[in-house]
Amino acid sequence: MIELKFNQEGLIPVIAQDYATGEVRMFAWANREAIEKTLQTGYAYYYSRSRKALWKKGETSGELQRVLEIRVDCDQDVLLYVVEQESNRACHTGERNCFFTDIEGKEAKKVLPFESLQRLQEVIESRLREMPEGSYTVKLYREGEDRILQKFGEEAIETLIALKRGVKEEIKAETADMFYHLVLLLTLKGIRVQEVFEELANRLG
């Protein structure tokens, strides 16, 4: 293991970043034992400064974090856990991450651009699971796959027309519509958005 720089208490800060969405899920501390347990088990372990004890994330709450990779910052004094949040709720408050308040104490739940397609897929999955009345997603689903394919084709053509016209706002709006229908189709085919991004990442080497 690389030589890490622990503080005087034998601890190092750890940031947990979601593998699928890129969002920062939480911040905590780890000692050498916590890191070793994380490497051994594949699940996130941290160190509680208040309890002065090792703890496994989600052991009692079910909010387990499967650690796919541990990265070290350039000064070797901060760790990044790249995680899959199994229950999709990382915070003890029940929020999906611990950073839902801005510096003024207001709610900060706006979806950030880099996580938007993955979060869109989560919403689509929720609609298909719960089937709420009045949902456009549910309406399309009930009309069948051919109808969804048709809508995707229409939106793709409208995006091409917008690109040809060159009006920036039209291009953004039509592309967003096309993305929605594409993500719906991917969801119905059992393909995660992150799998498409993984394919792109592989092509980038």
Question: How many angstroms separate the CA atoms of 23 and 27, rounded?
Answer: 12
pLDDT in tens, 76-130: 999 999 999 998 999 999 999 999 999 999 999 889 999 999 999 999 999 999 9
Domain with CATH 3.10.20.810 in the chain: 1-110
* CATH topology for the 1-110 domain: Ubiquitin-like (UB roll) (3.10.20)
Query: Strand 79-85 relative to strand 12-18: parallel, antiparallel, unpaired?
Result: parallel
> pLDDT tens digit string along 138-168?
999 999 999 999 999 999 999 999 999 999 9
CATH of domain 113-203: 1.10.287.1080
- Domain boundaries for CATH 1.10.287.1080 within the chain: 113-203
CA distances to 154, 158, 166 from 162, in Å: 12, 6, 6
**Confidence at residue 205, expressed as pLDDT on a 0 to 100 scale:** 81
The DSSP bridge pattern shows strands 24-30 and 12-18 to be antiparallel
Q: What is the pLDDT of residues 14-46, one digit of tens each?
A: 999 999 999 999 999 999 999 999 999 999 999
Block residue for tokens 């917008």: 162
pLDDT at 47 over 90: yes
Residue 109's pLDDT is: 81
* 51: helix, strand or coil: coil
28, 96 contact by CB (below 8 A):
no
Evaluate if residue 1 carries a pLDDT over 80: no
Q: For position 2, what pLDDT does the model report? A: 87
CA distance 177 to 179: 5
What lies within 8 Å, CB to CB, of 118 at 6+ separation is 20, 21, 192, 193, 194
Contact between 34 and 18 (Cβ < 8 Å): no
Contact between residue 83 and residue 20 where contact means Cβ atoms under 8 Å apart: no
